[in-house]
Amino acid sequence: MSDGSSRPPGRPSAGTARVPASARWRDRAAGLAGLPVALALRLLDPLMAAVQRLIGAGRMPYVFLFPNFVFFGLFVFLPIGINLVFSVTGGPALFPSERPFVGAEQYAYLFDCGSYLDPSSCREDHFWRGVSNTAVFVLFQVGTMVLVSLLTALVLNRPIRGRGFFRAVYFFPVLLSPVVVALIWKWILQRDGLLNAAITSLGGQKILFFVDPSWAMFWAVFVSVWAHMGFYTLILLAGLQAIPSDLYEAAEMDRTPRWRILWRITLPLLWPNMIVVIVLSLIKGVQTFDEVFVLTGGGPGTATLMVVQYIYETAFANQVQNFGLAAAASVVLGLVLFALTLAQLAATRMKER
């Protein structure tokens, strides 16, 4: 990027370059977190030497993989299996052996609808509210996100002073926790908040943003874009800066008008990054929970209830914990995410090409 970091960060550099301050701080931070790790590595040395003598160097890779895969097994692979079991069993019990088999009943219950276009006609109307809310949310959020990120990246890619600063400004909210983000905006948007003060000072009426379903959804989308656009802007900016400048110089030599350069050179070459941004934001968007949950609580009513909130509440927060139904809904959500992830892999491959 502009600040001479065109090489990947921290790749071992060939020269004896001056160590930038950020690298020094980075190393200090890593050192602090790495201290217990370094200690563990050293302490394990004699044990691992004994293990290698015992099983031979050829089997050492399994030793290296073992701990990570224990975790994967316990907290990913095993749960996938249990999830499937949960989704075909009923009752309030948590332990699969105590749960009666009900076949596809949970799925049938979820999908029991008069009309799929009308959530209120479904038996489990909250689930379908969640689905339709999530769909609306994702549609607006991804659309806005891509446009705003693209615009910002294009502006940041111009020869401007202080690019590093502005890039940081847009990126800063990405690091904030969803809870903090939601509380910041909740404070601004509340009845006597900053925004209503601005509206009244301009002669308007106070608006109860979280009482009006449309406003609540609007702010859910807005806050989500506010919090995450910096991340996608960075991806697009990296893509823009990877376009060789001699292409622009060649186009200029050909007296190509600027709008044509944008349409025929910049955007087509940026397209792979755009795909990545679209798919990534889709995947994240479908899983949206915390920001909206803290900002609106899913309300008013169920106006901003998302699928993940439905799953969480069905399993943990409701009076009757319905693990089976939550698991069935998880499986449905999982299938959607699976499809989106495949799209992402395809997009990444396209980008590499």
Q: Kindly report the length of the chain.
A: 353
Which of 113, 136, 188, 208 binds another protein (CB under 8 A)? It is 188
How far apart are alpha carbons 281 and 9 in whole angstroms?
A: 24
How far apart are alpha carbons 275 and 254 in whole angstroms?
A: 29
Here the tokens at position 242 are: 């990877």
Q: How far is the CB of 113 from another protein (least distance, A)?
A: 23
Taking CA atoms, 59 is separated from 24, 65, 107, in Å, by 38, 11, 45
Which of 102, 136, 183, 275 binds another protein (CB under 8 A)? It is 183
Beta bridge partners of 89: 101
Structure-derived torsion over alpha carbons of residues 8, 9, 13, 19, reported in degrees to the nearest 10:
150
| Binding of residue 16 to another protein (CB under 8 A) | yes
Q: How far is the CB of 132 from another protein (least distance, A)?
A: 19
| Binding of residue 290 to another protein (CB under 8 A) | yes
* 58 secondary structure, DSSP code: G
Site map 101..140 versus another protein, x via CB under 8 A: ----------------------------------------
- 63 vs 350 by CB, closer to another protein: 63
- 288 vs 302 by CB, closer to another protein: 288
Beta strands in the chain (DSSP E): none
- 120 vs 341 by CB, closer to another protein: 341
Which of 102, 299, 334, 343 binds another protein (CB under 8 A)? It is 334
| Binding of residue 166 to another protein (CB under 8 A) | yes
Here the tokens at position 96 are: 């699969």
Cis amide linkage into residue 213, ω under 30° from 0? no
> Of the ranges 33-41, 127-135, 137-145, 213-221, which one interacts with another protein (CB under 8 A)?
33-41
Taking CA atoms, 86 is separated from 38, 117, 128, 335, in Å, by 41, 28, 20, 16
* 13 secondary structure, DSSP code: P
- 127 vs 185 by CB, closer to another protein: 185
Cis amide linkage into residue 300, ω under 30° from 0? yes
Size of the site for another protein (CB under 8 A): 140
Which of 75, 205, 246, 352 binds another protein (CB under 8 A)? It is 75
Q: How far is the CB of 342 from another protein (least distance, A)?
A: 8
| Binding of residue 184 to another protein (CB under 8 A) | yes
> Of the ranges 17-25, 105-113, 125-133, 211-219, which one interacts with another protein (CB under 8 A)?
17-25
Name residue 73's amino acid: G
